[in-house]
Amino acid sequence: MSETSSKESTVKPQRSDEGSPVSTPALEAEHLSRAVVGKVITNNISVQVHVGEILAVVGPSGSGKSSFLRLLNRLDEPTNGVVRLRGQDYRELVPEELRRRVGMVMQSAYLFPGTVAENIKYGPSQQGSSLPVEQIAALLQRVGLSGYQKRDVSNLSGGEAQRVSIARTLANAPEVLLLDEPTSALDEESAREVEDLLLDIIRERQMTCVIVTHNNAQAGRLADRTMIIEDGKPVAVGPTSEVLKNG
Amino acid sequence: MAELLNSLDRNVVLGMAQAAAAIALCFGVVMLCRRFAVHVERETVISLARGLVQMVAVGVVLALLLHGNLLIASLILLAMACAAAVTASRRAPEIKNPLLVCFYAIAAGSSVVIAVLLATKTLTTDLVVLVPVGSMIIANAMNACAQAMERFKADVTDHVGLIETGLALGAEPTATVAPYVQTAVYASLLPRLDMLKSLGFVWIPGVMAGMLVSGASPIYAGIFQFIVVAMILAASGIAGLVATLLMRARVFSTAAQLTLRPGISESQHPRETNLAV
């Protein structure tokens, strides 16, 4: 672990808006590990993410970045360690509730067959509530897709599909947003547009965010702090500029 | 024993010669497949050998138990259901307890249908009637079970991204795989629906042919055959549905994580600990 990180890779809260009282972390991983068939994929990661903070997780392909992210909303089960959401052990939460509070945008958009509006409504409808048409329109406007409600998802470009996927996740009003290489499947122009959109939304909603990226420049543009993972282990974590400079 | 000795007449020798001709034709087809790089040699040899030995064994058992009672017939059908479960369970070794899943599905489908056939006196409790018809129902339930499991497994592993997206959006596991439950059950029923549609036009099944040979009324033989095929459809529907629903419960952990993913079997996933009340 590089000198930018603290002992056991636990990072003291270091917000860009230093001076405000430090509260309970929005999301906290403590000694988080996962092994499958004896192979360690994620190895003893401890990190805190505070409200409104963006943490980037970078590292080479196959280093365990996405595997770490999947542990944070319990899509996979850790073999050791714990995740806390606002101080509460996430195993105390019903998984469906946890995943509504910790939203995730995946590398591919994975839109459900049907219209854009049906996709946006999906999350709330799983709780038995119906998303008003005005809110659907507002979400689509926010991601730059006004008037797309009735479009069939099979007719969308890659960039448009990813924007729908972002709006669909936001429809659940999550407290924490997990982004798994959200622009890596897009062309350069679309990737930059989606990245700008994400940054705007995260900042305006003061969302807590963990973004996995293999692109250090993207981490530099987006993240307050960055954690480097190699072979499943955290090797550096701290303010993005310092971590990337040393890394 | 007298029944067994009576059955060892020259017809058996003739039958074995006819079986040899059938096997020779199958080998011809295998050779043809081989020319197109479709290699089913080993599986065909094993299947033919097993089929022949099993059918001769069934003949011997039936000859010995020709006048057995309902209890003996039930035990034979139970043994057949177990064997069917072993065969079908090979389709989904990745899930937890595939043998139990298959046995429950096949037993549910065939027992309901056989009970209805007995209750309506469509079947008598005579072993020589109950076992052959029951075996047809069990065999079709087995096929439906295997087809449903295979289709469900294929659909789930092909749509891992969509299923996990649904889970990540807070959906219940059952909601995320609902379309694949439908297609799996439909896939298991489709061959039986086609069979029912083509009844009489494309094929006249063996039961009817046997009844006609033994002098039964052709119209009753036709109705009886329809009942048997309709019951096969019912048994297949129940077996396919039960197999799919039991499998659905096994492809997710109690923490609503998809455990059936390409390259990872259910047993390789870490156990989860839920603290939620």
User: Given this model, what pLDDT does residue B15 score?
Assistant: 82
Is B171 in CB contact (< 8 Å) with chain A? yes
Q: How far apart are CA A106 and CA A95, in angstroms?
A: 18
What is the distance of C-alpha B16 from the center of its chain?
A: 27
- What is the ipTM, given to two decimal places? 0.89
User: Given this model, what pLDDT does residue A19 score?
Assistant: 38
Distance from CA of A59 to the nearest CA of B (A): 23
Distance from CA of B205 to the nearest CA of A (A): 42
User: Given this model, what pLDDT does residue A10 score?
Assistant: 38
User: Given this model, what pLDDT does residue B56 score?
Assistant: 86
- B18 pLDDT above the threshold of 70: yes
Name, of A8-17, A190-199, B122-131, B234-243, the range with top average pLDDT: B234-243
- Cβ–Cβ contacts within 10 Å for residue A177, how many? 23
Q: Half-sphere exposure of A200 toward its Cβ, with a 13 Å CA cutoff?
A: 10
Judge: B276–A76 Cβ closer than 8 Å, yes or no. Answer: no
Q: What is the pLDDT of residues A111-129, one digit of tens each?
A: 999 999 999 999 999 999 9
User: Given this model, what pLDDT does residue B273 score?
Assistant: 54
Q: What is the pLDDT of residues B161-200, one digit of tens each?
A: 999 999 999 999 999 999 999 999 999 999 989 888 888 7
User: Given this model, what pLDDT does residue B9 score?
Assistant: 66
User: Given this model, what pLDDT does residue B271 score?
Assistant: 55
- A238 pLDDT above the threshold of 50: yes
Per-residue pLDDT band for A190 (boundaries 50, 70, 90) equals confident
b (16+ CB within 10 A) / e for B22-53: ebeebeeebeeeeeeeeeeeeebeeebeeeee
Q: B165, B176, B258, B265: best mutation site toward chain A, by most A Cβ within 10 Å?
A: B165
Judge: B162–A100 Cβ closer than 8 Å, yes or no. Answer: no
User: Given this model, what pLDDT does residue A13 score?
Assistant: 39
Closest of B237, B244, B236, B238 to residue B101, by C-alpha: B244
- A82 pLDDT above the threshold of 70: yes
Q: Do β-strands A27-36 and A80-85 pair in parallel, antiparallel, or remain unpaired?
A: antiparallel
- B267 pLDDT above the threshold of 70: no
User: Given this model, what pLDDT does residue A223 score?
Assistant: 94
Judge: B175–A110 Cβ closer than 8 Å, yes or no. Answer: no
Q: What is the mean pLDDT of residues B95-105?
A: 94
User: Given this model, what pLDDT does residue B210 score?
Assistant: 74
What is the distance of C-alpha A8 from the center of its chain?
A: 22
Q: How far apart are CA A104 and CA A168, in angstroms?
A: 10
A236, β-bridge pairs: A228
Per-residue pLDDT band for B69 (boundaries 50, 70, 90) equals confident
Q: What is the pLDDT of residues B205-219, one digit of tens each?
A: 777 777 777 777 888
Q: What is the mean pLDDT of residues A224-238?
A: 94
Question: What are residue A76's phi and psi, to 5 degrees?
Answer: -125, 160
Residue corresponding to tokens 């449903």: B148
Distance from CA of A145 to the nearest CA of B (A): 21
The model carries a pTM of 0.81
Q: What is the pLDDT of residues B101-135, one digit of tens each?
A: 999 999 999 999 999 999 998 888 888 888 888 99
Question: Is A193 buried (19+), middle (13-18) or exposed (0-12) by CB count in 10 A?
Answer: middle
Distance from CA of A119 to the nearest CA of B (A): 10
**Strand extents, DSSP E, chain B:** none
Q: How far apart are CA B69 and CA A187, in angstroms?
A: 74
Judge: B255–A74 Cβ closer than 8 Å, yes or no. Answer: yes
Q: How far apart are CA A72 and CA B41, in angstroms?
A: 49
Residue of A nearest to B165 (CA): A110
Judge: B169–A168 Cβ closer than 8 Å, yes or no. Answer: yes
Q: Enumerate the residues of chain B whose CB falls inside 8 A of the CB of residue A168.
A: 169
Q: What is the pLDDT of residues A141-175, one digit of tens each?
A: 999 999 999 999 999 999 999 999 999 999 999 99
Distance from CA of B179 to the nearest CA of A (A): 11
Judge: A103–B168 Cβ closer than 8 Å, yes or no. Answer: yes
Distance from CA of B146 to the nearest CA of A (A): 28
Q: Do β-strands A27-36 and A39-49 pair in parallel, antiparallel, or remain unpaired?
A: antiparallel
Closest of A104, A109, A191 to residue A156, by C-alpha: A109
Q: What is the mean pLDDT of residues B63-71?
A: 75
Interface of A with B (CB under 8 A): 34-37, 73-79, 89, 91-97, 99-100, 103-104, 106, 108, 110, 112, 122-123, 126-127, 165, 168-169, 172
Q: How many residues does chain A have?
A: 247
Select from A37, A94, A103 the Cβ nearest to the Cβ of B276.
A94
User: Given this model, what pLDDT does residue A186 score?
Assistant: 85
Ordered strands of the A233-239 beta sheet: A102-105, A176-180, A208-212, A54-58, A225-230, A233-239
Residue of B nearest to A166 (CA): B169
Residue A43 makes CB contacts below 8 A (sequence gap 6+) with A33, A64, A231, A232, A233
- Choose between A84 and B210: higher pLDDT: A84
A7-111+174-246 CATH fold: Rossmann fold (3.40.50)
Closest of A65, A84, A97, A103 to residue A208, by C-alpha: A103
User: Given this model, what pLDDT does residue A34 score?
Assistant: 95
User: Given this model, what pLDDT does residue B6 score?
Assistant: 61
Q: What is the pLDDT of residues A10-40, one digit of tens each?
A: 333 344 444 344 578 999 999 999 998 888 9
- The domain segmentation of chain B, as residue ranges, is 1-64, 69-268
- B13 pLDDT above the threshold of 50: yes
Judge: A106–B268 Cβ closer than 8 Å, yes or no. Answer: no
Q: Enumerate the residues of chain B whose CB falls inside 8 A of the CB of residue A89.
A: 275
Residue of A nearest to B256 (CA): A95
Q: What is the mean pLDDT of residues A130-144?
A: 93
Average pLDDT, chain B: 86
Select from A73, A78, A94 the Cβ nearest to the Cβ of B168.
A73
Q: What is the mean pLDDT of residues B35-62?
A: 88
- Choose between B151 and B220: higher pLDDT: B151
Q: How far apart are CA B136 and CA B130, in angstroms?
A: 10
Q: Which helix (H) or strand (E) holds B175?
A: helix B173-176
